[in-house]
Copies of this chain bind each other. A is one copy, B any other.
């Protein structure tokens, strides 16, 4: 990461949502030998579109290319500047700031994005600086560096606000899913239980779903239809 390759003072952070075992989860990285946890983030190349930089980072971590991605806020408080945290990260990886990494200790403004992906499609990959990149339920996050906790809170709030307006819930599921699975996603995002019949009626009335064949789970009850988003 030589200094010349990236725009200084500008970073991005991504809140990558997945859904499994009934929980809304996000990807969190742990840095080598530090016990420090952070959102996956990165920098923007000198001639690269901001959005493309984020997609590039997501692809490196998840292997996915077609990702539902939305920018939601840019965090620009001076107080989010904490060179000691970055110094710790670099030193734990045997990097001397003097060797062209001084710029990483500067103040950064961070553009935050959230992504919705199908949990099953992903095997999280750590990067050079991190031990691990793992799913954590949003209610059981470790302590995060800097203001990353606030970034997550705001991501969840934005996701909730957009849930009905943009009908984005389906991006957290496989292409085909049952109505019950979709309802579970909504409940995990909103943090509340929903009424089955009302939910079903609303989704069908929205005319955004295509109904496919039935899905036989082997359980002893009526088989539900599979749906996909139009």
Which A residues lie at the B interface, using CB under 8 A? 7-10, 44, 46-51, 71, 73-79, 107, 109, 111, 161, 165
Give this chain's copy count. 2
A76/B44 in contact, CB under 8 A: yes
**A44: B residues at CB distance < 8 A:** 76, 109
Closest Cβ neighbor of A46 among chain B residues: B107
Given A9-B9, A10-B9, A10-B109; A74-B74 close (CB under 8 Å): yes
- Please state if B77 and A74 are interface contacts (CB–CB under 8 Å): no
Q: Is the interface of A mostly helix, strand, loop or mixed?
A: mixed
Q: Which of A10, A74, A77, A165 has the most CB of B within 10 A?
A: A74
Chain B residues lying within 8 Å of A50, measured Cβ to Cβ, are 74-77, 109
A79 neighbours in B (Cβ, 8 Å): 49
A71-B73, A73-B71 as given contacts; A47 in contact with B10, CB under 8 Å: no
Set of chain B residues within 8 Å of A46, measured between Cβ atoms: 107
Report the separation of the CA atoms of residues A44 and B81 in the bound assembly, to the nearest whole angstrom. 14
Chain B neighbourhood of A10, CB < 8 A:
9-10, 109
- Complex A-B: 7 CB contacts under 8 Å: A7-B9, A7-B107, A7-B109, A9-B10, A48-B78, A71-B73, A76-B111
